[in-house]
Amino acid sequence: MRTLNLGILAHVDAGKTTLTERLLHAAGVIDEIGSVDDGSTQTDSLALERQRGITIKSAVVSFEIDDVTVNLIDTPGHPDFIAEVERVLNVLDGAVLVISAVEGVQPQTRALMRALQRLRIPTLIYVNKIDRGGAQFAGVLESISAKLSPATIAMGSVNGLGTRGATCAPYTATDADFMSGLVDLLADRDEALLAAYVDDERTVSHRRVRRQLAAQTGQAVVHPVFFGSAITGVGVESLIAGIRELLPSAEGDVDGPLSASVFKVERGPSGEKIAYVRMFSGAVRTRDRLQLRGDVEGKVTAVSVFDDGAAVRRDTVAAGQIGQLWGLGEIQIGDTLGVSRTPVSARRHFAPPTLETIVVPRRRADTGALHVALTQLAEQDPLIDLRQDKIRQEISVSLYGEVQKEVIQATLANDFGVDVTFRETTTICIERPVSSGDAVEEMGNGANPFLATVGLRIEPAPIDTGVTFLLGVEAGAMPSAFFNAVEETVRQTLDQGIYGWQVTDCAVTMTHSGYAARQSHSGGVFDKSMSSTAGDFRHLTPLVLMSALQHAGTRVYEPIHRFQLDVPGDTLGSILPALAQLRAVPKAPSARRSSYLLEGVIPAARVHELQLQLPALTSGEGVLESAFDHHRLVRGRVPTRPRSDHNPLNRKEYLLQVIRRVGTGRDGG
Per-residue model confidence (pLDDT) at position 133 = 93
Upper half-sphere CA count for residue 630 (Cβ side, 13 Å): 7
- 582, 539 Cβ separation under 8 angstroms: no
In sequence order, what are the residues at sequence separation of 6 or more whose Cβ sits closer than 8 angstroms to the Cβ of residue 548?
437, 438, 439, 456, 457, 458
In sequence order, what are the residues at sequence separation of 6 or more whose Cβ sits closer than 8 angstroms to the Cβ of residue 545?
439, 456, 458, 489, 490, 493, 494, 508, 648
The mean pLDDT of 602-626, rounded to a whole number, is 87
CA-to-CA distance for 517 and 501, rounded, in angstroms? 37
Percent of the chain with pLDDT over 90: 49
CA-to-CA distance for 602 and 614, rounded, in angstroms? 14
Q: Which residue has the higher pLDDT, 388 or 343?
A: 388
Q: Which residue has the higher pLDDT, 107 or 162?
A: 162
- Residue type at position 541: T
Q: Is the pLDDT of residue 520 over 80?
A: no
**Strand duo 123-128 + 223-227: pairing:** parallel
Per-residue model confidence (pLDDT) at position 225 = 97
Residue 15 to residues 51, 199, 311, Cα–Cα distance (Å): 17, 44, 24
Which residue in 167, 155, 96 sits closest to 130, CA to CA?
A: 167
The pLDDT tens digits for 60-104 are 888 888 888 898 888 775 666 666 777 788 888 999 999 999 989
Architecture of domain 259-346: Beta Barrel (2.40)
Percent of the chain with pLDDT over 70: 88
- Local confidence band at 56 (pLDDT 50, 70, 90 cut-offs): low
Q: Is the pLDDT of residue 138 over 70?
A: yes
Sequence ranges of the chain with CATH classification 3.30.230.10: 431-552+644-661
Per-residue model confidence (pLDDT) at position 658 = 87
What is the SS3 assignment for 190-253? Answer: CHHHHHHHHHCHHHCCHHHHHHHHHHHHHCCCCEEEEECCCCCCCCHHHHHHHHHHHCCCCCCC
Which residue in 137, 139, 141, 87 sits closest to 115, CA to CA?
A: 87
Handedness of CA 107, 112, 115, 117 (dihedral sign): negative
Per-residue model confidence (pLDDT) at position 37 = 47
Per-residue model confidence (pLDDT) at position 344 = 39
CATH class held by domain 559-633: alpha beta
Q: Is the pLDDT of residue 343 over 50?
A: no
Which residue in 209, 338, 217, 351 sits closest to 278, CA to CA?
A: 338
Which residue in 58, 385, 87 sits closest to 263, CA to CA?
A: 87
- Local confidence band at 408 (pLDDT 50, 70, 90 cut-offs): confident
- 228, 236 Cβ separation under 8 angstroms: yes
CA-to-CA distance for 596 and 599, rounded, in angstroms? 10
The mean pLDDT of 583-612, rounded to a whole number, is 89
Q: Is the pLDDT of residue 32 over 70?
A: yes
The pLDDT tens digits for 189-230 are 887 777 776 666 565 677 888 899 999 999 999 999 999 999
Q: Which residue has the higher pLDDT, 159 or 404?
A: 159
Q: At what angle do helices 236-246 and 16-26 cross, to 10 degrees?
A: 80
Q: Is the pTM of this model over 0.85?
A: no
Q: Is the pLDDT of residue 52 over 60?
A: no
Residue 623 to residues 136, 172, 503, 561, 626, Cα–Cα distance (Å): 19, 39, 35, 16, 10
Q: Is the pLDDT of residue 663 over 60?
A: no
Per-residue model confidence (pLDDT) at position 263 = 87
- Local confidence band at 500 (pLDDT 50, 70, 90 cut-offs): very high
The mean pLDDT of 653-664, rounded to a whole number, is 75
The mean pLDDT of 654-659, rounded to a whole number, is 88
Sequence ranges of the chain with CATH classification 3.30.70.240: 559-633
- Out of 336-350, 446-460, 589-603, 626-640, pick the least confident: 336-350
Sequence ranges of the chain with CATH classification 3.30.70.870: 355-428
Which residue in 386, 388, 361, 389 sits closest to 375, CA to CA?
A: 386
* DSSP codes joined into one string, 476-506: TSS-HHHHHHHHHHHHHHTTS-TTSSEE-SE
- 44, 36 Cβ separation under 8 angstroms: yes
Per-residue model confidence (pLDDT) at position 662 = 59
Residue 665 to residues 538, 540, 545, 656, Cα–Cα distance (Å): 12, 11, 19, 10
Q: Is the pLDDT of residue 48 over 70?
A: no
Sequence ranges of the chain with CATH classification 3.40.50.300: 2-172+222-246
Per-residue model confidence (pLDDT) at position 202 = 60
Q: Is the pLDDT of residue 380 over 90?
A: no
CA-to-CA distance for 217 and 484, rounded, in angstroms? 45
Architecture of domain 2-172+222-246: 3-Layer(aba) Sandwich (3.40)
Per-residue model confidence (pLDDT) at position 115 = 82
Q: Which residue has the higher pLDDT, 151 or 116?
A: 151
CA-to-CA distance for 508 and 490, rounded, in angstroms? 8
* DSSP codes joined into one string, 112-169: HHHHHHHTT--EEEEEE-TTSTT--SHHHHHHHHHHT-SSEEE-EEEESTTSTT-EEE
Per-residue model confidence (pLDDT) at position 525 = 55
Which residue in 564, 545, 533 sits closest to 497, CA to CA?
A: 545
- Local confidence band at 533 (pLDDT 50, 70, 90 cut-offs): very high
Judging by beta carbons within 10 Å of its beta carbon (0-12, 13-18, 19+), is residue 560 exposed, middle or buried? buried
Q: Is the pLDDT of residue 665 over 70?
A: no
Which residue in 491, 435, 499 sits closest to 467, CA to CA?
A: 491
- Local confidence band at 35 (pLDDT 50, 70, 90 cut-offs): low
Sequence ranges of the chain with CATH classification 2.40.30.10: 259-346
Q: How far is CA 159 from the centre of its chain?
A: 38
Q: Does domain 431-552+644-661 sit in CATH 3.30.1540.10?
A: no
Q: Is the pLDDT of residue 661 over 80?
A: no
CA-to-CA distance for 496 and 649, rounded, in angstroms? 10
Residue 534: in which H helix or E strand, if any? helix 534-552
Q: Does domain 355-428 sit in CATH 3.30.70.870?
A: yes
Per-residue model confidence (pLDDT) at position 134 = 92
- Residue type at position 437: G
The pLDDT tens digits for 551-580 are 999 999 999 999 988 888 889 999 999 999
The per-residue pLDDT of the chain, averaged, comes to: 86
- 278, 308 Cβ separation under 8 angstroms: no
Q: Is the pLDDT of residue 264 over 80?
A: yes
CA-to-CA distance for 494 and 536, rounded, in angstroms? 18
The mean pLDDT of 375-387, rounded to a whole number, is 81
**Strand duo 156-159 + 167-170: pairing:** antiparallel
Per-residue model confidence (pLDDT) at position 49 = 44
- Out of 239-243, 320-324, 439-443, pick the least confident: 320-324
The pLDDT tens digits for 6-31 are 999 888 788 888 898 899 888 888 77
Which residue in 198, 343, 185, 202 sits closest to 261, CA to CA?
A: 343
DSSP β-bridge partners for residue 323:
277, 305
CA-to-CA distance for 434 and 269, rounded, in angstroms? 51
Residue 218 to residues 2, 152, 207, 212, 366, Cα–Cα distance (Å): 15, 14, 16, 10, 52
Q: At what angle do helices 572-581 and 604-618 cross, to 10 degrees?
A: 160
CA angle 614, 620, 622 (to 5 degrees): 55
The mean pLDDT of 618-632, rounded to a whole number, is 85
DSSP β-bridge partners for residue 337:
260
Upper half-sphere CA count for residue 243 (Cβ side, 13 Å): 32
Handedness of CA 173, 176, 180, 182 (dihedral sign): negative
